[in-house]
């Protein structure tokens, strides 16, 4: 079993750190920014809400990777949190990469009740199930960013998580990811093509099915 750095409410940094891991060398991996124009995006199966209740995120970030055929056959639950290695203060999320046929995709969401990771098709179906029950303004859009491009472009000074100098949520213990001026707001701007085009839910399914 491995473990990945995790800080609640800093999904964009969790995913950026995950995309840097050496286990994914030789595999496709993409960050997926999830939001919409209203910044009120409905997601199911999130630990931030009670079971069977939707979560309304202003934005969320997950990752997609190609599968690892022949590896472990079971994944950890999204409810689990690992103890940090000796001498570390960070929170770590454990994971086992499930076996899957070559060509399948995995989805990595640190905040889901689903397995971490799980098959991308299952994740998308269950996380965005029943959207027709909600107002269209809450339907998600998806910006898919290849991990090397994410590494080049992503930068955050974490100021979006402060109000008058006070943290809205505790920040990660690692240093901010800075590559010049902050770019998180551009990644989330539905009128900006920065990082790549926006996809609908059907287009996201087509993305993982057509690669």
Kindly list the structural domains of the chain, giving each domain's residue range(s) and its CATH number in brackets, ordered by start. Answer: 2-148+186-209 (3.10.620.10)
pLDDT of residue 70: 55
Digit-coded pLDDT (tens) for 187-206: 999 999 999 999 999 999 99
Q: Which residue would you say has higher pLDDT here, 84 or 95?
A: 95
Q: Which of 82-86, 99-103, 171-175 has the lowest mean pLDDT?
A: 82-86
Question: Taking residues 33-43, what's their average pLDDT?
Answer: 97
Least confident of 27-41, 73-87, 93-107, 190-204: 73-87
Provide the 8-state DSSP code for 181: S
Whole-angstrom Cα distance, residue 99 to residue 117? Answer: 11
| 84: Cα separation from own chain's centroid | 21
pLDDT of residue 92: 81
What average pLDDT does this structure show over 61-72? 79
pLDDT in tens, 169-183: 999 999 999 999 999
Report the predicted TM-score, pTM, of the whole model to 2 decimal places: 0.89
| pLDDT tens column, 110-163 | 999 999 999 999 999 999 999 999 999 999 999 999 999 999 999 999 999 999
- How many helices (H) does the chain have, and how many strands (E)? 5, 14
Binning the chain into helix, strand and coil, the percentages to the nearest 5 are 25, 25, 50
Lowest mean pLDDT among 5-19, 57-71, 87-101, 146-160: 87-101
The pair of three-digit structure tokens given for residue 103, joined into one six-digit string: 């060509």
Q: Are 42 and 54 in contact (CB under 8 A)?
A: yes
CA pair distance 182, 126, nearest whole angstrom: 32
> By the 8 A CB rule, do 62 and 46 touch?
no
Give residue 87's pLDDT band: very low, low, confident or very high (50, 70, 90): very low
Phi and psi at 82, nearest 5°, equal -85, 155
The pLDDT of residue 128 is 97
CA dihedral 92, 126, 119, 111 (to 10 degrees): -10
Q: Look over the chain and give the mean of its residue pLDDT values, rounded to a whole number.
A: 88
- Angle, helices 201-209 vs 120-127, to 10°: value is 170
**CA distances (Å), 161 to each of 10, 16, 55, 167, in order?**
9, 17, 19, 6
Distances (CA, A) of 74 to 92, 141, 165: 19, 30, 43
């Amino acid at each position: 079993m491995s473990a990945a750095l995790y800080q609640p409410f800093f999904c964009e940094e969790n995913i950026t750190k995950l995309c840097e891991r050496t286990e994914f060398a030789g595999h496709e991996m993409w960050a997926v920014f999830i939001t919409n124009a209203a910044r009120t995006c409905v997601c199911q199966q999130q630990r931030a809400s009670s079971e069977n209740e939707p979560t309304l995120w202003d934005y969320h970030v997950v990752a997609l990777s190609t599968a690892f055929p022949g590896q472990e056959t079971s994944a950890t639950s999204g409810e689990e949190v690992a103890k940090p290695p000796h001498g570390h203060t960070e929170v770590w999320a454990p994971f086992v990469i499930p076996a899957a046929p070559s060509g399948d995709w995995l989805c990595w969401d640190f905040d889901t009740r689903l397995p971490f990771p799980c098959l991308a098709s299952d994740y998308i179906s269950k996380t965005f199930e029943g959207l027709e029950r909600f107002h269209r303004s809450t339907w998600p859009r998806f910006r898919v960013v290849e991990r090397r491009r994410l590494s080049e472009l992503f930068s955050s000074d974490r100021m979006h998580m402060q109000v008058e100098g006070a943290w809205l949520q505790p920040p990660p213990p690692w240093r901010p990811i800075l590559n010049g001026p902050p770019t998180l707001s551009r990644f989330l701007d539905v009128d900006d093509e920065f990082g790549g085009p926006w996809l609908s839910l059907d287009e996201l399914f087509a993305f993982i099915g057509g690669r």
